[in-house]
Structure 1
Amino acid sequence: MLHPEETEAQFEQRWWELMNDLRQRFGKKPDLNALLLLIGVQELGQGGGPFTKEQKQDLMHIATCRLFSISGYYELERVDEDGWPHFRLVKPVPFSTLKEQERMLKWHMLEYFQEMDRLNG
């Protein structure tokens, strides 16, 4: 996924800039799983843990749903009594290859962090 006016090189540049920014913030370059966990914790809004292995998996699921809500694949259904968000699938996410899945995830992460930067301006 690209913005209509964005080239592959521009997409890669945006990704490199995000990774560089996160490396500066956290002292190391995060992988995709670490980014999903970070986004999940942010979306939960209850601080940084500690979390059990199961909770970390749930946080990564929250992140994935939140990211794909940007493109209308998921929507927030409710927040439970413990403050955990629950999403529902609106339309199937079109995946074919692992490379395309990773690319789509990266694009949504770029959009998410850009949105967060605008909100926290």
Structure 2
Amino acid sequence: MLDPQETEAQFEQRWWELMNELRVRFGKKPDINALLLLIGVQELGQGAGPFTKEQKQDLMHIATCRLFSISGYYELERVDEEGWPHYRLLQQLPFSNLKEQERMLKWHMLEYFDEQEQL
């Protein structure tokens, strides 16, 4: 879950550092949708594409589910015959507004990339 000890300034610093690292790696600063697509492609594990518009939406959904699985909102249910992961919702997400949703998504992205670095 979100770290209650982390101040907003510490959170923003971690986010800025991740964005800077990704800007250096890819040559431009990604937005949240680009990050979701990147995570989805990574979770699919089949390379960078090409993907249709619908597949890109599916990849972003996979990324969202994978990210929220970190805090127990989703779990991986199965991987289909084409290698696409499918998640099951375990509990409703606790957002009361878009700002909260974006902050929680960013926090999960930070955790995801920290986890990937440790592999």
Q: TM tier, shorter chain? A: over 0.9
How far does the alpha carbon of each residue in 1:74-100 deviate from its partner, in whole angstroms, 9 at most, with x for none?
Answer: 000000000000000001011111111
The whole-number CA distance in structure 2 between the counterparts of 1:53 and 1:109 is: 23
- Provide structure 1 residue ranges, at least 5 long, that are not aligned to the other structure: none
The whole-number CA distance in structure 2 between the counterparts of 1:99 and 1:66 is: 20
Which residue in the other structure is 1:71 paired with? Answer: 71
- Provide structure 2 residue ranges, at least 5 long, that are not aligned to the other structure: none
Partner SS for 1:46: coil
The whole-number CA distance in structure 1 between the counterparts of 2:7 and 2:50 is: 40
Shift of 1:3: 1.4
Partner SS for 2:39: helix
Range moving further from structure 2, 5-14 or 29-38: 5-14
Q: How many positions carry a matched residue from both structures?
A: 119
Partner SS for 1:42: helix
How big is the alpha-carbon RMSD for the aligned residues of Structure 1 and Structure 2?
Answer: 0.9
**TM-score calculated relative to the size of structure 1:** 0.96
Cα contact 2:41–2:48 (8 A) shared by 1: yes
Amino acid at match of 1:65: C
Which residue in the other structure is 2:104 paired with? Answer: 104
Amino acid at match of 2:33: N
The whole-number CA distance in structure 1 between the counterparts of 2:59 and 2:87 is: 12
Runs ≥4 residues deviating over 2 A: none
How far does the alpha carbon of each residue in 1:9-39 deviate from its partner, in whole angstroms, 9 at most, with x for none?
Answer: 1100000000000000000000000000000
Amino acid at match of 1:71: S
**TM-score calculated relative to the size of structure 2:** 0.97
Q: Write the mapping of 1:4-19 to structure 2, written as runs, cut at 5 A.
A: 4-19=4-19
